[in-house]
Structure 1
Amino acid sequence: MLRILYRTLWYIAAPLAVARLLVRSRHERGYIEHIVERFGYTASYAARNKAPLIWIHAVSLGETRAAEPLILAMLEEHPDAQILITHMTLAGRMMSEKLFGARVLRCYLPYDMCGPVRRFLRAWRPTLGIVLETEVWPTLIDECRYAGIPLVLTNARMSERSYQRAARFSSVVRHVFGGFSRVLAQSAADAQRLSALGAHDVVVLGNLKFDIVRAAELSDQGRAWHAAIGQRPVWVAGSTHEGEEALVLDAYRQLHIADALLVLVPRHPQRFDAVAELVKCTGLKLARRSQWPKTSMQASASRPVAIDPLPDDVQVLLGDSMGEMSAYYVAADVAFIGGSLLPIGGQNLIEACAIGVPVVIGPHTFNFEQVCFDAITAGAALRVRDPATLAQAVHTVLTNRVYRVTMGAAGAAFAARHRGATRRTLDELEALLPAPRQRISDSS
């Protein structure tokens, strides 16, 4: 009965989803493009190509970044195979284009309806399907099982909160999770919950996000920004969500460091203008990354050219750019990771830790509970409750250089200790993949 209800609801939801895309396309044209792919209509790969196809689903920007080390390794180890990356969001697709260009194929994953999913699978005929983290689509799993396509849940995580919700529908959920050929979990706690929900052949391999390699040009860009900002203390609030920016700005007003610069980076680009208006309404002096620096960044062989200094009276720099989070962290003295002051579940703190930036997180990190617990235990992160305690923590880090350096070093060491999930994942997938022509080194 639940399966019938689920599939019926999709016939109601799909037109509403398309309408939402059309509304959002008024601000970003990309949302209206490739809509037919969301219903499984795409040029047939199987009819034109004999090369095996490895399909990786990375729903949005974060999952695409998480998949980066795995995809790069597959491109090197399996040059005779083609790789298809599917997304559900424009941000994920744009990040895929930036990271991999024409080296991979890409399209949107169809809505979870029988007809669209079957058309998608018939057109592409993947040798192997890999879905990232929490992407559990019942119809997709069923159709892959019927088509004989092995489907692996990779870098899998399952929070206690999500587990409790899913466990209420144990019989249906066990059927869904039992449809995965393998489950490669981030942690022992994730593996235990996934097994309890019916997943089989579950192994713990760690988190792929620890293996993401920061682009050298982003490091150069961040250092150039830091030099252009000058000696001012820099606090980055990254990946913030709606309602959270107001709390961060409240904390900034309680910081009581006269020359501190807040770099505010909203998670979703469609909110950039709204956040800019919010900052202006507080009376704080705003600059936008899209308008600074006016001198273009052109790196020489040794270092980027000098760029325009940020005016001293700017209090908040709005990070209205895509794909530059690493550069913001390089320019920072302390980083607050968004999605955690409100019950959203948090965002990834690994990138900031790996750069060696002290990290502050809010109370709501249930989507990243294990990695947050490990970072706090390692001395790389601090947890706060509200804007007042956020201001206190940031003040402590910015005014105590020894503490700041110690936390940053702890973060870098923490990230280094947990690398290696890419190699372990490739080894686990080997039996399901085309025979490799060459292998990447264990150090990758």
Structure 2
Amino acid sequence: MSLASFAWHCGATLAAPLLPAWLRLRQRRGKELAARLPERRGLGAARPPGPLLWLHAASIGETLSLLPVLDALTARAPALTILLTTGTVTSATLLDRRLSPALRSQVIHRFIPLDVPAWVASFLDAWRPDAAGLVESELWPNLIRAARARRIPLVLINGRLSARSAARWRLAPALGRELMAAFTLVLAQGPADAARFAALGAREVRAPGNLKEAAPPLPADPAALAALQAAIGPRPVVLGAATHPGEEAMLIAAHRLLAPEFPGLLTILAPRHPERGAALATEAGTLPTLRRSTGALPGPETAIYIADTLGELGLLYRLARLALVGGSLVPHGGQNPLEPARLGCPILLGPNTANFADIAARLLAAGGVRLVIPPEPGALAGAIRTVLSNPDHGRNLADAAAAAIAPAATLPDEVAKALLHLMPQARDEDRSTPDAH
């Protein structure tokens, strides 16, 4: 055990008596479910008989990327049970909405235990997974060490390691090597991620592509879509999707600049954190503003419509003439530009796209996005003007983005095959094959 790993182990153990109070505080804030708090301590297991594959996704984006893999796994292994853990209430809500009846019979959801040695041990000893896949960058030292100690084969799925994160890992190289040694296989999002994982100490690294490119299009409730379409009519709609503080002000300023040129212009603000809806309504000032959380639909005079709700981006992308993908005009790193690409919505991006650097670069190279540089209201208004005044330009952007992500269609099945190859039956077959060694 490295010194850093030992320190983490001791720190988590010492913190354990305080964590239940912290969890209750999170529950009062809506970030935990009271009835399911025991799961965060590794309790509540109900392992069914037969093969069990454990997958872990941190939150909504990672969970969405797994949905096609779940379909591929259950198609290839009808007797398989999948234990899917996540760390947020919103991801649990998403699964409740998005799992098909067929998947519900094979997928069990639980919240991941906090990375306390005793709690992780309770979780693993009760569930006894045959193999496990952790998504993107979920490198919890106690969890990974405990899985390795129990000889559970581990795969890092859709692995992401930014240059900034890699630099931080260089401060604790022994811990990085220790964690990477636990993984049988790392499936990285791209060549740059793969190189960083290899430098960190991963034994076998492949770069098949980014699972987020293969996720299904975001859904939309047909009745809600029809109601909004009827309320908006032929008005031009600009969407700020998953926006962060500072971006809404730029969109509001751009709206003021463009409204005289585009009669009926409607700007929809969908903040990344919906609880900011009331503050954004105040920020809109004298512009006629409505909030979706109140149940209101935009009227003919509505200029700013604040979509302060969860799980409706699929609806909004279908309404918009173009969408600014949030987190890119401010130093956040950007939200997922693949969601509008899958729905044929022309994309605007600011310069801050570190969270999706490879995807943003590929979309830009294909002509599938329009950049807003510098990230200020005048440049934003200019980019919006170009798309709204030239429908062919918008269609070309959307078509190029769709073509750029099309090759990822087979990726979920590749990931499913790699995971199933680590299950006991596949390992036994490998050992019985004469040339297995």
Calculate the TM-score normalised by the size of structure 1.
0.86
SS at match of 1:181: strand
1:9 aligned residue (8, 11, 27): 11
* 2:357 pairs with 1:355: no
1:327 maps to what in 2? Answer: 315
Q: CA deviation at 1:204?
A: 1.2
Partner letter of residue 282 of structure 2? K
1:348 to 1:215, Cα distance in 2 relative to 1, 3 A? closer
1:144 maps to what in 2? Answer: 147
1:422 maps to what in 2? Answer: 412
1:262 aligned residue (238, 261, 267): 267
Counterpart contact for 2:23–2:32, Cα < 8 Å: no
Separation of aligned partners in 1, 2:108 and 2:117: 23
* 2:161 pairs with 1:158: yes
Separation of aligned partners in 2, 1:280 and 1:261: 17
Q: CA deviation at 1:41?
A: 1.4
Separation of aligned partners in 1, 2:337 and 2:222: 17
Counterpart contact for 1:78–1:434, Cα < 8 Å: no
Separation of aligned partners in 2, 1:15 and 1:367: 35
Range with bigger deviation, 34-43 or 108-117: 34-43
1:337-370 Cα shifts (integer Å, max 9, x gaps) = 1122222221111111121111111222111100
1:22 aligned residue (11, 21, 24): 24
1:164 to 1:331, Cα distance in 2 relative to 1, 3 A? same
Q: CA deviation at 1:242?
A: 4.0
Q: CA deviation at 1:320?
A: 2.6
2:43 aligned residue (37, 41, 44): 41
Partner letter of residue 255 of structure 2? Y
SS at match of 2:328: coil
Partner letter of residue 61 of structure 2? G
Counterpart contact for 2:221–2:315, Cα < 8 Å: yes
Separation of aligned partners in 1, 2:247 and 2:413: 37
SS at match of 2:409: coil
Q: CA deviation at 1:44?
A: 4.3
Separation of aligned partners in 1, 2:239 and 2:27: 29
Separation of aligned partners in 1, 2:326 and 2:295: 23
Separation of aligned partners in 2, 1:366 and 1:12: 35
Counterpart contact for 1:381–1:411, Cα < 8 Å: yes
Range with bigger deviation, 334-343 or 208-217: 208-217
* 2:51 pairs with 1:52: yes
Separation of aligned partners in 1, 2:16 and 2:266: 43
Q: CA deviation at 1:226?
A: 3.3
Counterpart contact for 2:325–2:349, Cα < 8 Å: yes
2:376 aligned residue (357, 381, 387): 387
SS at match of 1:346: coil
Counterpart contact for 1:21–1:32, Cα < 8 Å: no
1:424 to 1:29, Cα distance in 2 relative to 1, 3 A? closer
Separation of aligned partners in 2, 1:315 and 1:261: 5
1:298 maps to what in 2? Answer: none
Q: CA deviation at 1:14?
A: 5.5
The root-mean-square deviation of aligned C-alpha atoms, in Å, is 2.4
1:212 maps to what in 2? Answer: 215
1:387-442 Cα shifts (integer Å, max 9, x gaps) = 32222212221222121111111122222233221122123223213669xxxxxx
Q: CA deviation at 1:285?
A: 2.1
Calculate the TM-score normalised by the size of structure 2.
0.88
* 2:201 pairs with 1:198: yes
Separation of aligned partners in 2, 1:117 and 1:9: 14
Counterpart contact for 2:325–2:348, Cα < 8 Å: yes
Separation of aligned partners in 2, 1:418 and 1:280: 42
Counterpart contact for 2:291–2:307, Cα < 8 Å: yes
1:400 maps to what in 2? Answer: 390
Separation of aligned partners in 2, 1:15 and 1:261: 51
Q: CA deviation at 1:168?
A: 2.5
1:279 maps to what in 2? Answer: 281
1:290 to 1:278, Cα distance in 2 relative to 1, 3 A? closer
* 2:221 pairs with 1:231: no
How many residues are treated as equivalent by the alignment?
415
Partner letter of residue 9 of structure 2? R
SS at match of 2:183: coil
1:83 maps to what in 2? Answer: 82
Counterpart contact for 1:338–1:346, Cα < 8 Å: yes
Separation of aligned partners in 2, 1:397 and 1:429: 43
Which sections of structure 2, spanning at least 5 residues, go unmatched? Answer: 427-437
1:242 to 1:435, Cα distance in 2 relative to 1, 3 A? farther
Partner letter of residue 267 of structure 2? L
Counterpart contact for 1:219–1:326, Cα < 8 Å: no
Identity %: 35
2:435 maps to what in 1? Answer: none
Separation of aligned partners in 2, 1:92 and 1:343: 25
* 2:318 pairs with 1:313: no
Separation of aligned partners in 2, 1:24 and 1:313: 40
1:400 to 1:141, Cα distance in 2 relative to 1, 3 A? same
